[in-house]
Structure 1
């Protein structure tokens, strides 16, 4: 089944929390694992896949109490989106890319019902976007 997720840049890199928004609405197979979601986000925002990353479930992206999914605990390949959603009440799924620049994204399942894949469609795919992509490596002057 195909589900729809919203990926929203919260903070990171050389941006500030007041910078322009970047939101991607992505259709993805519900059986995709977290590594598949990582690749989909990378492609959606135009980043180079050249840094470590993790996903975590927490109240906020600054919460110290987290359920982490990363290379150390092998959670990236074992957990599918259909395993994780719906999330516990009051919790969100976050994606942290590049521990130096700390690109933080919130990933939420939309209210759209899961559906069968469209014939000929290639998933994952961005179906809506708001704002501009962040610049992963800005020019230094």
Structure 2
């Protein structure tokens, strides 16, 4: 069995008046047999959330390119991970959002994934082991699509031993903001 340690950074959310002066993150350890839904629940608890909402994970490759989505079980449809883009849309996106120093190989991979999106997966049916992760690989996680709480998740460490517990927060930095401004946590 394998266990994983993830660092989960909470992105600023100016719409909800969350613009911290210091980074806010949590280190969470999970077992390879835990699902992405288990990881979601650990993040939910670690950032002291109170109301459940839909969520999605995007698995990223070594270039930071999203290669597949993992949907909240109630949102899962088995459709494509994202809507396909035509050449003009892809070119416009690359011109505006992709740094000049990104390799041609990464640009072509991005182009192919946007033209031919992979099938989405169900977060409740996908274990962490199923992701076939390598250290320093990352995920994007969004919780509550209305308020848009975004997180960057980086794989910090892989251990070849099981975690004999539920996911656990092992380190933290910064205060978690209230889920809704003006309301207590």
In 2, distance between residues paired with 1:110 and 1:128? Answer: 12
Structure 2 unpaired stretches of 5+? 79-120
Match of 1:127 among 170, 173, 181: 170
Deviations 1:85-118 (A, max 9, x none): 415x996311100111110111222135242336
Correspondence for 1:6: 7
In 1, distance between residues paired with 2:136 and 2:163? Answer: 30
TM-score by length of 2: 0.61
Deviations 1:66-103 (A, max 9, x none): 5211122352122111111415x996311100111110
Question: For residues 31-42 of structure 1, what are the structure 2 equivalents within 5 Å?
Answer: 31-42=33-44
State the SS of the aligned residue for 1:41: helix
- Aligned partners of 1:20 and 1:132 also within 8 Å: no
Displaced runs of 4+ in structure 1, greater than 4 A? none
Structure 1 unpaired stretches of 5+? none
Larger radius of gyration: 2
Task: Kindly state the Cα deviation for residue 136 of structure 1 after the two structures are TM-superposed.
Answer: 0.8
More helix by share: 2
In 2, distance between residues paired with 1:90 and 1:139? Answer: 36
- Aligned partners of 2:9 and 2:26 also within 8 Å: yes
Match of 1:97 among 143, 148, 156: 143
Deviations 1:31-81 (A, max 9, x none): 111111110100111002421111112465xx7x65211122352122111
Correspondence for 2:122: 75
Correspondence for 2:86: none
CA RMSD of aligned residues (A): 2.6
TM-score by length of 1: 0.78
Question: For residues 22-37 of structure 1, what are the structure 2 equivalents within 5 Å?
Answer: 22-37=24-39
